[in-house]
Amino acid sequence: MLHAHTPRILKDTLQGSTLTITDITADAAHLEAFDHHEHVWHGRDEARELNAIVAIHNTALGPALGGTRMWPHESFEAALTDVLRLSRGMTYKAAVAGMHFGGGKAVIIGDAKKEKTPALLEAYAEMLAALSGQYYTAEDVGFTLADADFLRARTDNVTGTTLGGSGNPSSVTAHGVFLGLKAALRHRGVNALEGVTIAVQGLGSVGWTLCEKLYAEGAKLFVTDIDTARVEEACRSFHATSVAPGEILSAPADVFAPCALGGVLSAETIPSLHAGIVAGAANNQLARHEDARLLMERGILYAPDYVINAGGLLNVAAELSPGGYDRAATMEEVARIPETLTGIFQRAEADRRPTNDVAAEIADERIAAARTT
């Protein structure tokens, strides 16, 4: 098992660099999303145009592990809120999956298509190196396998790379979501995908691979994405029906699979949701934790996002195991996602509670147990 170092930044780590790393934990504490984070670091390098936040939520089970995303947030506070929510989700994802890791996440503020440069990545690699032992990262939205390899060549706390043997975790994430979606359908008495209608929001690497799997087993797809060319390609490849981004929740589907950014399910949008099941890959699908109750009250079965999409985390974590990456063993772990979800569904129904409350309770129990051992 890996063990986290005492959280600190060594001054001599940054000698000769234009990068500054500041502990902004106290400054972040006023935000609703803070939730007792252990550390929040702000990395700034004006010369190399890096503006990054690393949030470490909880390391009771082990060092923090979570991806890095690059996104043009409209403000620093919006980026801070995003990274806090994501890192908390990683804590719960790792705990429910029975992993020996805690939750962390990183956000680089900027447009990955226009502002990601080798100099920026060099500066970010320095920040990661300063956090080595506290935080391990992998690619996320706005990052590529090549970016992960670039970082890994400069610091050892990067996973999901070709150097570690697992590569891009998107296909593993998609496989876990595919299995979890079928488990949700089985819980509702549907044992095959043939003729089932599924609305997929987001056609990135995970969403696309999920569509491939669903189409191969006879599902009928509604698709949307901000990339219209991607939507057109999906319509050709999967005989899918194109839906405008603002109308995907009300598409006449049996299952809604959010695979884009988070916050899509809220008190404002849930009333328009047509599907009876929500099962997708996006992180933080709920605008607020309490919104799961609104889904329950409407009779909608919600597969908690950090449970169903844990495949990618299981995959990159496997690179850090003492024996190195083992694909077969990793896929066996991913294959247990349906069993975990089914247990959550059953417990939620028996207790008449939202599924995400049950999932959070399981995570909290495991974290509490780790603290007493």
**Binding site for NAD(+): which residues?**
202-207
Catalytic residue from among 93, 105, 116, 220: 105
SS3 for 102? Answer: strand
Closest Cα to residue 301, out of 224, 186, 172, 176? 186
Give Dmax (Cα) for the chain: 63
Structure tokens at 370: 């780790």
Residue 300 contacts residue 277 (beta carbons within 8 Å): yes
Structure tokens at 152: 């890994």
Closest Cα to residue 51, out of 24, 26, 76, 86? 76
Tell me, rounded to whole angstroms, the distance of Cα 275 from its chain centroid.
22
Q: What angle do CA 331, 255, 353 make, to 5 degrees?
A: 85
Structure tokens at 150: 């670039």
Q: What angle do CA 100, 1, 308 make, to 5 degrees?
A: 25
Listed in sequence order, the DSSP H helices in the chain are: 25-28, 76-96, 112-115, 118-130, 145-152, 170-187, 205-216, 228-238, 291-297, 305-308, 311-318, 327-334, 337-351, 355-371
Report the C-alpha dihedral over residues 53, 57, 61, 62, rounded to 10 degrees. 20
Structure tokens at 185: 């359908």
* CA atoms of 40 and 86, how far apart (whole Å): 13
- Is 114 a residue of the active site? no
* CA atoms of 73 and 264, how far apart (whole Å): 16
User: Which residue in this structure is represented by tokens 């549907």?
Assistant: 190
Which residues are the active-site residues? 105
